[in-house]
């Protein structure tokens, strides 16, 4: 196998090791970043298959990301779709399907959000929500599988993808039917659609927002609702996930200041996981918070901002995963 070094630059993108299958020829060169000299080293050539030992050694060294050239992105996306939609549980481990689906969700959402085409975004969200629900409903699925592959940057499409997975997991634990879990997951993918109307200079501001900027941020639930409200292919609960996910039980939320009795149950689910995701992901103004600390902060607002039963269920999911 040839070895080469390439200077670090803008020509490479990271991929999750969890999406790579043993004995599968991915069809693209895989690189590993050399931390000492800031270069890329060829790890595996495109025509050379991976083995389980290779993957085990990578994970044993704490390597969760490899790199591919940007020019190979389309090949990688084709590979991911093949893995994410595979029904062969013997040859495709669930963790690989979870990782592949997460990458596909982020890629599709990013493309849809950039185009700002509501029709295509909703249709993509419905397809992805169905795929995600199929995986979440598997008996062997665990939250740990998801935590291993999630990204935690502050891009709107990343946040929406994570919230959708979390909402689907929480809805499943709360006993919702598979059909409604799929709708809730789709709603999670669409819940922040209104942020596409907010400038990047505000969404990515590294410091504290001033009052004028915060007023603009507070508009995004209403803007998202307006984009979606006329659609007959979305149900009330999904619309309320977009409109009410920043409302609070005590009436101190926005955009309207609804109280507990006015809030849709799906919006309450979205509110819990939306804040949890924001607290535990990278933000321009702070580093990610440990999950235990995020739950502790949310617990202080139980009954005020968050539905106590829904929050307690989410805490039990996260704590059970941590214990295992």
Q: Which residues face 32 on adjacent strands?
A: 41
Q: Are strands 65-69 and 12-16 parallel, antiparallel or unpaired?
A: antiparallel
Sorted by sequence, the CB contacts under 8 Å of residue 163 that are 6+ apart come out as 188, 189, 191, 192, 270, 273, 274, 277
Helices and strands: H and E segment counts in the chain: 14, 5
Grouping H, G, I as helix, E, B as strand and the rest as coil, residue 189 is helix
Structural contact between residues 109 and 157, judged by C-beta atoms closer than 8 angstroms = yes
Structural contact between residues 224 and 191, judged by C-beta atoms closer than 8 angstroms = yes
- Strand segments, DSSP code E, in 27-135 are 30-34, 39-44, 65-69
Reading the block at residue 275, the tokens are: 């804040």
- Nearest Cα neighbor of 15 from 1, 3, 25, 29 is 29
**List 41, 120, 195, 315, catalytic entry:** 195
CA separation for the pair 164, 315 (Å, rounded): 17
Q: Is 120 a catalytic residue?
A: no
Enumerate the active-site residues: 195
């Amino acid at each position: 196998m040839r070895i080469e070094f390439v200077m670090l630059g803008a020509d490479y993108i990271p991929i999750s090791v969890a999406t790579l299958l043993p004995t599968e020829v991915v069809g693209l060169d895989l690189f590993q970043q050399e931390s000492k000299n800031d270069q890329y080293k060829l790890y595996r050539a495109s025509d050379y298959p991976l083995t389980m030992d290779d993957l085990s050694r990578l994970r044993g060294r704490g390597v969760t990301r490899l790199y591919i050239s940007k020019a190979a992105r389309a090949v990688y996306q084709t590979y991911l779709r093949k893995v994410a939609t595979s029904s062969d549980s013997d040859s495709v481990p669930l963790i690989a399907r979870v990782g592949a689906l997460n990458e596909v969700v982020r890629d599709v959402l990013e493309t849809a959000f950039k185009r700002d085409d509501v029709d295509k975004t909703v249709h993509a969200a419905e397809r992805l929500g169905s795929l995600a629900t199929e995986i979440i409903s598997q008996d062997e699925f665990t939250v740990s599988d998801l935590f291993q592959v999630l990204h935690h940057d502050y891009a709107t499409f990343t946040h929406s993808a994570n919230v959708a997975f979390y909402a689907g997991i929480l809805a499943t634990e709360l006993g919702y039917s598979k059909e409604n879990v799929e709708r809730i997951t789709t709603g999670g993918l669409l819940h922040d659609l209104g942020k596409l109307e907010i400038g990047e200079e505000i969404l990515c501001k590294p410091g504290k927002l001033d009052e004028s900027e915060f007023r603009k941020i507070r508009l995004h639930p209403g803007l998202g609702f307006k984009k979606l409200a006329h659609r007959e292919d979305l149900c009330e609960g999904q619309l309320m996930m977009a409109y009410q996910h920043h409302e609070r039980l005590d009436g101190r939320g926005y955009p309207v200041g609804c109280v507990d009795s006015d809030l849709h149950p799906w919006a309450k689910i979205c509110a819990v996981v939306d804040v949890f995701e924001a607290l535990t992901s990278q933000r321009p103004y702070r580093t990610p918070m440990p999950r235990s600390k995020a739950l502790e902060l949310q617990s202080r607002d139980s009954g005020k901002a968050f539905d106590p039963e829904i929050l307690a269920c989410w805490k039990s999911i996260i704590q059970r995963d941590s214990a295992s």
